[in-house]
Amino acid sequence: MATVYLALDIRLDRTVALKVMHRSLAEDPAFVRRFIGEAKSVASLSHPNVVHVFDQGTDTDVVYLSMEYVPGKTLRDVLRERGRLPAREALEIMIPVLAALGAAHQAGLVHRDVKPENVLLTDDGRVKVVDFGLARAIEATNQTRTGVMIGTIGYMSPEQVTTGGADVRSDVYAAGIMLFELVTGQQPYDGETPMSVAYRHVHDTVPAPSSLVPEVPPLIDTLVAHATAREPQDRPADATAMLVAAVDAHRMLPRLTNPPGAHPSMAHSQPHARLQPGAHSGAQQGAPSGAQSAPLAAPAHTLIQPRAEVPAEPRRRGFRPNWFLVTLSAVMVVAIGLTGWYFSQPEYVTMPKLVGTNFESAERRIKGMGLVVKRAPGVHSEKIGEGLVHSTDPEAPVELEKGATVTLVPSLGPKRVVIPNVEGLSEAEARTAIANAGLEVGSVKRLPNLQIERGKVIRTSPPVGEKVKEAAEVDVFLSAGLLMPNVVSMPKDDAARYLAEQGFQVAVQEVDDDAEPCTVIAQTPKAKSEVDKGAQATITVARCQATFWDWYRGDNEARDDQEFRLVPAVMGKNVNDAKSELEQQGFKVKVVRLGHSGVVRFQRPAPNSERPPGSTVFLWE
């Protein structure tokens, strides 16, 4: 149906299992609807034993699900490694499986493919049911009865084989088959073909597990028989009903099995043998008869001798204790003492591993074991999600006396810090505010800005209010105020007008110079200097009294027969287009950047001026 990839959700920074539908199936609209139905069905379940669905979507022709990643192994892997499991351990796996199925049944969903491959065992001991890909709302089951069997043949209920239909009792049947396999190490039916196995599901009765493995307790036989009844109405009503029966069976099973070589009658004995009152009473009832018979019979070594051989002074007859009664009394005293000591000993329970499990469920589980729960303040964690158990005190596994206190620490999830508002602050103030928020300053850049005072913060990246990891870097952008533009070589009037538009107080100073008349030969402040709005700007200009032709002839000794060309008007044109046009006319071009508009704002010489080929034309962008 699909391929599952291990993936990273870069938006929420978590590892997920990405389930991508096979391309051949993605072309079938009906199958796509079933696939999307899986996402909606499972996403409606919120249960610690169900693998969660985070998201569903399509990317061109790729249809996918984003699901909870569960590190560990499948129940099938465990069966391959260990073979059959003890009855108690098998129930301890089935109970969370039935809890997950029960939650699905309560929500109106049928799994339809319950089997060991779809049960995941995490590294920390949790049990998760996965792949509700064949789940359907109970109301829609009539639409699926097209004669196609959906499921795995070894776990199919008789009604799935015969009609193709399935309800919650079909999941109960599959759970009973899975319990059979857990305690025996094999499925109840095998055959050369899948149809032969299906035939046996319909016509045979599932054998008792103890017929294959004699040490399986009768309670398991009963549970399997009830769950795998051929008629659906003879099974538990749903997985929740089977869960109740499984919990009762687990409670009644003894904790320890008989050690190898012990007498069968001692199987499933308690850890400590308890003295039964009947054993003592029987001994007490037999004791008087023995005590009375002893004085009536003469000892074997006692003989009556003639008087002549009797000593002059007869030996005084002393007290002769009945050693049987003495021994019996001593045994009874010791037994009573041991019994009192045993029953006065505290009862211990083993605290399970709870880290990473749902906090509320862990709380109920600990209280159900007779322990006292103390809730500690939550802590942040990058690995354990919000609402799960971060840690316990003491750490599991550990034996605890009933009534002992267990401290559970909830996880608050990954810690995220809000970018503080530092706009309008100085660089030093911004650094302090960012550090106080638990963040670090990255790069500091200066940008021209007339609205924000020079040296103050314009903005940050990431922006104010965004949540980031603790100790993340924040880039700061400071106002550079006004940047003095480069107006050297610009005509005087253009330079003065442009500087005034930028907010400068302009002063013009004319001097005698060999440069072209009325052009800027120097400026104060220098180009790219940072200044405040309204600052004084002085431009030094070559004296304007002389004409260009006077300057040109005096400087270049121009001949009357020299060729001249008109300089085209390029102001308002794209800089690159203007440059190409001028170069085609035989002029050299020098571009001076004032901003980033990409459009010619000023030019020198003025449009339609005459200049010889090879002259330099200045363009200001």
Enter the DSSP assignment of 416: E
How far apart (Å, rounded) are the C-alpha atoms in residues 448 and 503? Answer: 13
Q: Which CATH number does the domain housing residue 552 bear? A: 3.30.10.20
What residues form DSSP beta bridges with 603? Answer: 619
Do residues 493 and 547 both lie within one domain? yes
In-domain check, residue 376: yes
Question: What integer pLDDT is reported at residue 27 of this predicted model?
Answer: 78
Rounded to the nearest integer, the mean pLDDT of the chain is 80
Domain edge (last residue) among 518, 539, 562: 562
Give the confidence band of 342 by pLDDT, cuts at 50, 70, 90: low
Asked whether residue 235 falls in the same domain as residue 88, the answer is yes
Same-domain pairing of 494 and 620: no
- Distance of alpha carbon 366 from alpha carbon 352, whole angstroms: 9
Assigned domain for 593 exists:
yes
Q: Is 100 in the same domain as 192?
A: yes
State whether 96 and 223 are in the same domain: yes
- If asked whether residues 162 and 177 sit together in one domain, one would say yes
The DSSP element (H or E) to which 540 belongs, if any, is strand 536-542
Residue predicted with more confidence, 178 or 317: 178
152-164 per-position pLDDT tens digit: 889 999 998 888 7
Distance CA 262, CA 270 (A): 13
- Both 230 and 105 in a single domain? yes
In this structure, is residue 312 part of a structural domain? no
Of 539, 562, 585, the domain-final residue? 562
Specify the pLDDT at position 538. 92
Instruction: Specify whether 33 is located in the same domain as 182.
Output: no
Residues acting as catalytic residues: 113
- pLDDT for 283 equals 33
Does 60 share its domain with 94? Answer: no
Q: Does a structural domain hold residue 575?
A: yes
The structural domain count of the chain equals 6
Residue 421 included in any domain? yes
Question: What one-letter code names the amino acid at 415?
Answer: K
562 versus 479: the higher-pLDDT residue is 479
Q: Which one-letter DSSP state was computed for residue 12?
A: T
* pLDDT confidence of residue 310: 41
Residue range of the domain that includes 365: 348-410
- The answer to whether residue 264 sits within a structural domain is no
Q: Please report the sign of the dihedral spanned by the C-alpha atoms of residue 91, residue 93, residue 99, residue 102.
A: negative
Question: Model pTM?
Answer: 0.43
Would you say residue 607 lies in a domain?
A: yes
pLDDT, one tens digit per residue, over 99-130 is: 999 999 988 888 888 999 999 999 888 999 98
For residues 436 and 384, membership in a common domain is answered with no
Mean pLDDT is lowest, of 103-117, 205-219, 263-277, 596-610, for: 263-277
Residue 304 has pLDDT above 60, yes or no: no
Asked whether the predicted pLDDT for residue 234 surpasses 90, the reply is: yes
What the block records as the tokens of 535 is: 């600052």
Q: Which residues contact 21 (CB under 8 A, 6 or more apart)?
A: 1, 2, 31, 32, 35, 62, 63, 64
- pLDDT confidence of 340, banded at 50, 70, 90? low
| Pairwise CA distance, residues 473 & 463, whole Å | 12
Alpha-carbon radius of gyration of the chain: 47
pLDDT tens-place string over residues 198-214: 889 999 999 999 999 99
- The Cα 151–Cα 173 span in angstroms is 13
The DSSP string of 203-257 is: HSPPPPGGGTSTTS-HHHHHHHHHHT-SSGGGS-SSHHHHHHHHHHHHHHS-SSP
The amino acid at 465: G
Q: How many CB atoms lie within 10 A of CB 230?
A: 16
Mean pLDDT along residues 505-527: 88
| Residue 420 and residue 452 in contact, taking contact as beta carbons nearer than 8 Å | no
Question: Do 558 and 577 sit in the same domain of this protein?
Answer: no
Q: What is the pLDDT of residues 520-562, one digit of tens each?
A: 999 998 888 888 778 899 999 998 865 565 556 555 554 455 6
pLDDT at residue 242 in the model:
96
Q: Which of 29-43, 170-184, 344-358 has the lowest mean pLDDT?
A: 29-43
